[in-house]
Structure 1
Amino acid sequence: MLSYQHAYHAGNLADVHKHALLAQALDYLTQKDKPLSYLETHAGRGLYDLSGAEAQKTGEAAQGISLVEQWFGADHPYRRALTAIREKHGPSAYPGSPLIAQTLLRDTDHIHLAELHPQEHAALHYTLSAAENTKVYQKDGFELAQSLCPPDPRRGLILIDPSWEVKDDYATMPRFVGTLTKKWNVGIVMIWYPILTDPQHKPMIAAIRDMHPDALIHEVAFPPARKGHRMIGSGMAILNPPWGLTDHATALTKRFKSL
């Protein structure tokens, strides 16, 4: 949705959940000396300033990564990405998932990023497109995924992370994922979704479970960022989860329960 601006929410607890699991999955994939494809349907701008007016207005990063970064040791891939990006962009820099992926992946891997919002796309292009292995598209992410799948190389991962401000996304996501996996049955598919006071995600997740009984469904709860805030948790539905990711998700659950 073109009105959504992630700068207000960058580094919040949902980002921590999503990015920690994404980094772990990418770390697993890069342990093999074979190139891979990374696709993202709703990439955002890729890099955020946690000292900026947007982040300061909501305070979500202060309750997110700034509070819980110690959960992750120096050798955790999420922490490694944060360290490398801050060294390049400054101590208040926070990466979106495209920059985390670009930081952890190799020159031989192929990165495809979609972002429809004109300003967010321009920022994304500025930050990431200099790398020869990265292509940035100003295009609807669902359309791009369908056009590229199966990607070359076929080994790889797609992150699907819409704003969820379009309510039809909940109804159409299972069908979209079903079509995608028929084309690309070996790809790791990661779908992030918010857990709201009105649990709109439940029918969607039930449908995904029916179609993909081996999917990893991982949900964490956390306090609302402020009074009246509707998001009270974060979910990830992961199809073809890489080996060991369930254990990492379980460890993350214990961390969130400590909040």
Structure 2
Amino acid sequence: MNYRHAYHAGNHTEVFKHSILVFLLEHLTQKMQPFFVLDTHAGIGMYDLESNQALLTGEKADGIEKIYDIGIPSCQRYLDIIVSVNAGPLKYYPGSPEISRQMLRPTDRLIACELHPDDYFALQSRYRSDRRVTIQNRSGYEAINALVPPVERRGLVFIDPPFEQKDEVQQMISALNKGMRKWATGIFCLWYPIKGSKIGDAIADAVVSAQHPKSLRIEFLPFRKDGENLAGSGIIICNTPWKLDEWARSLCQDISSKLGDRNGTWSVKWLTAEGGAQ
């Protein structure tokens, strides 16, 4: 499938994955030492929910629009960030690089990669004045191999591709395995869309086969799977922070009552423990 961010900004998959991104970043800010974030498929950083692309799909209506002005304890920091980029009613939605940038401290770093020329220039223009942020026009998968481990020795790799390539899953798995070999203590977070089960199962099988430690699989499906439409999405995290599994259950329970047709499902499952298979 093709998942260009501009067409899906603020939908239910964005609410889910960006809430998890915020949790991971909050975890990293709990220690004084600087941290590093690599965003492999950054997009443009900020999305106009009244743009032609967003209006074409109208997906915000089953996502951020339903929870923008209500309090949800499990994802309140995420919602606060959405509110911060809107001077009143909901109009703009921050992508992953903007969410990360907002949570950086003065000594932290973000490298955001984007291959699409127009998106790269938009991203470069938006962040050129922020010295903590570097924008690179390169493959995010290649960047993992080139840029880890970072000098900070702690941080996050956020892998959120548009699934435009036929071999996207294989590229994700290869990049993850290379990255984990070079940076065994880094947090790696991989997102995937759900229509059927093949993508998530393939990544999960690879993670178990490689025995990447503390690997957690979270799926949130606000709609029933029919094999055709976007039912939900999943996240697989390696080197999962403490208590993320408990929080993820609270998140999914909270948002499942607000999003979709209320016939959906969610799951939080360990793939591997700290020392190997769970």
Residue in structure 1 matched with residue 77 of structure 2 by the alignment: 77
CA distance in 1, matches of 2:120, 2:227: 31
8 A contact 2:86–2:92 mirrored in 1 = yes
Do the aligned partners of residues 71 and 12 (structure 1) sit closer, same or farther apart at CA in structure 2, a change above 3 Å counting?
farther
Query: Given the two structures, how large is their TM-score scaled by the length of structure 1?
Result: 0.91
- Superposed CA deviations along residues 169-219 of structure 1, whole A, max 9, x for unmatched, are 212322321110111111110000111136333222212133225201100
Q: What is aligned with 1:55? A: 54
Question: What residue is the counterpart of 1:215 in the other structure?
Answer: 215
Moved over 4 A (4+): none
Q: Flag the 1:198–1:74 CA change in 2: closer, same or farther, 3 A.
A: closer
Instruction: Supply the AA of the counterpart residue of 2:214.
Output: D
User: Does residue 192 in structure 1 map to residue 191 in structure 2?
Assistant: yes
- Match of residue 276 from structure 2: none
Aligned residue number for residue 102 of structure 1 = 101
Question: Which letter does structure 2 place at the counterpart of 1:118?
Answer: P
- Report sequence identity in percent: 36
- Segments of 5+ residues of structure 1 without an aligned counterpart are none
Partner of 1:125: 124
TM-score computed with the length of structure 2 as normaliser: 0.85
Give the CA deviation at 1:61.
Answer: 0.8
**Structure 2 Cα separation of the partners of residues 200 and 190 of structure 1:** 15
Change (3 A) 1:229 1:8: farther
2:231 pairs with 1:204: no
Aligned residue in 2 for 1:180: 179
Deviations, residues 100-156 of structure 1 (Å, cap 9, x unaligned)? 000111121011010000011111112223211100001111111211110121110
Report the residue type matching 2:80 in the other structure.
R
CA–CA separation in structure 1 for the residues paired with 2:197 and 2:173:
19
Cα distance in 2 between the residues matched to 1:81 and 1:150: 29
Q: Report if aligned partners of 1:174, 1:207 keep a CA contact under 8 Å in 2.
A: yes
1:185 partner SS: coil
- Where does structure 2 lack aligned partners over 5 or more consecutive residues? 263-278
RMSD (CA atoms): 2.4
User: Which residue number corresponds to residue 140 of structure 2?
Assistant: 141
1:31 partner amino acid: Q
Question: For residue 220 of structure 2, what is the amino acid of its counterpart?
Answer: V
Tell me if structure 2 keeps the 8 A contact 1:192–1:236. Answer: yes
The secondary structure found in structure 2 opposite 1:18 is helix
Q: Is the 8 A contact 2:141 2:171 kept in 1?
A: no
| Pair 71,237 (structure 1): closer, same or farther in 2 beyond 3 Å | farther
Residue equivalent to 2:268? none
The alpha-carbon distance between structure 1 residues 168 and 71, as it changes in their structure 2 partners (threshold 3 A), is farther
Residues 239/198 of structure 1: CA separation in 2 closer, same or farther (3 Å cut):
closer
**SS state at 2:121 partner:** helix
Letter in 1 for 2:58: G
Q: State the 1:241 CA deviation.
A: 1.2
